[in-house]
Amino acid sequence: MLRSVERRRVPGSQVDPRVAGLRSAVARLRRQLAAHPAEFRDRNVAEEELAALADLAAGDHPDIPRLRRSLLLVAGAIGSVSALGPGVRELREAVDLFGPAPRG
């Protein structure tokens, strides 16, 4: 659930806290994936989509449908790697702060 506190900007700051949280979650998962020793079939997909998410998070107003698409691709690529599960969950929570997924 999106709390009003999470939507407010910090006085004197130009960065939306949701964007800052997204940047943090993407960077953390990228580090975790880079440090993960096992190779798996869709690792390249995960790395490419995390790079795309980092690019999206670099702006002030990320494209929300693109965020959600990349999140799904990352989750699908990493899904079976339980050690990376908490990082994927954190990323999902960061994307969810931008609003609910469209229905339909």
Asked whether residue 104 carries a pLDDT value surpassing 70, the answer given is no
Rounded to whole angstroms, the Cα distance separating 31 from 13 reads: 26
| Cα distance between residue 11 and residue 79, in whole Å | 38
**Each residue's pLDDT tens digit, 82-94:** 999 999 999 999 9
Q: Cα separation of 50 and 52, whole Å?
A: 5
Specify the pLDDT at position 2. Answer: 40
Residues 6+ apart with CB under 8 A from 59: 19
d(CA 9, CA 47): 30
Question: Is residue 92 helix, strand or coil?
Answer: helix
